[in-house]
Amino acid sequence: MAKKPDNPYVVQPVMKALRVLELVARHGHEIALTAVSKELRIPKTTTFRYLQTLTAAGFLDHNRSTDRYNLGPQLRAIARADASVSKIRALARPAMIELMHEFNETVNLAVKGNGTVVYIDLVEANRSLRMQARIGESHPMHSTALGKAILAFLPEAERRRQLDLPLTEMTGRTLLEREEIERQLRQVVRAGYATEMGENEDGAMCVGVPILDEDGYPVAALSISAPLMRMPRSLAAKAGTRLREVAATISVQFGSHPTTTAL
């Protein structure tokens, strides 16, 4: 338990600090410096520093009045985000496969990042010419159907904040005018789905819809992407309608989790 002779690359301070974090967490309630120090056999001074660091990073919470530490918001946020992503992915996957077969094009799933969408899953069509992002990649919100679908359903204030950021030009067709974007977003709300034509990547287009949580907040988006030539307007409209149906189902299933933060 004390010796870690195996991996020569483990950084001691980090390892010990993690032990502290774990102990505090497992304790299930506030715990004082001395107790941690005694339990882990780490000198008080060192323990103190770790507790301070963990607190500064938000992984722990320091109760000034009792001088005790317990789990902090950061850790909970991370865990929550992770659970959320896993859940969406699990819920969406079967439907994505179905959609892929239906249209024989790649289906994408992304969550809202900060000013971007982050791909968390995709089901590729079995065609030689296919549009594909990579899981984990971030793309701008304003140049993708995924992003537009999310933007359109974001609360007023947040949407404005997003559009105030400098908008990068991905292709010659990328929308950069505030006016034009907002006009499109209103259109997205009406139609229930967003489209993008060569605005993110030349020759590629995409149809996307938001996945909403119980409060109607767009936590993620689902899309079908294809080469421009293979997806005429009429087919895109059909895809949009299907996506809407699918996303609605996922949204409902997703909205059952309590998501309670401890006070």
Q: Where does this chain bind a second copy (CB under 8 A)?
A: 4, 6-7, 9-11, 13-15, 17-19, 21-22, 25-31, 35, 48-50, 52-54, 56-57, 59, 71, 74-76, 78-83, 85-87, 90, 111, 118, 120, 135-136, 257-258, 260, 262
**Binding partner of residue 42 among a second copy, DNA, none, CB under 5 to 8 Å per kind?**
DNA
Supply φ then ψ for residue 10, to 5 degrees. Answer: -70, 135
Cβ contact 117:211 at 8 Å: no
Q: For the chain, what is the radius of gyration of the CA atoms?
A: 23
How far CA 251 is from CA of 161, 221, 245, in Å, comes to 25, 10, 10
Long-range contacts of 123-127 (CB under 8 A, 24+ apart): 123/93, 123/96, 123/97, 123/99, 124/100, 125/100
For a second copy, give the closer residue by CB, 234 or 256: 256
Residues 50-89 that bind DNA (CB under 7 A): 50, 67-68
The residue from 3, 45, 157, 260 that contacts DNA (CB under 7 A) is 45
Least spacing, CB of residue 241 vs a second copy, in Å? 28
Q: Read off the tokens for 186.
A: 């209103």
Only segment of 42-50, 82-90, 108-116, 169-177 that touches DNA (CB under 7 A): 42-50
Helix (H, G, I), strand (E, B) or coil at 209: strand
Only segment of 44-52, 71-79, 90-98, 230-238 that touches DNA (CB under 7 A): 44-52
Least spacing, CB of residue 233 vs a second copy, in Å? 33
Q: Count the neighbouring beta carbons within 10 Å of the beta carbon of residue 224.
A: 31
Q: Is 13 in the site for DNA (CB under 7 A)?
A: yes
Kindly state the helix (H) or strand (E) to which residue 224 belongs, with its residue range. Answer: strand 218-227
**Binding partner of residue 29 among DNA, a second copy, none, CB under 5 to 8 Å per kind?**
a second copy
Q: Is 42 in the site for DNA (CB under 7 A)?
A: yes
Cβ contact 60:24 at 8 Å: yes
Q: Is 261 in the site for DNA (CB under 7 A)?
A: no
CA atoms within 13 A on the CB side of 118: 11
**Binding partner of residue 136 among a second copy, DNA, none, CB under 5 to 8 Å per kind?**
a second copy
Residues forming the site for DNA (CB under 7 A): 8-9, 11-13, 16, 32-34, 42-46, 48-50, 67-68
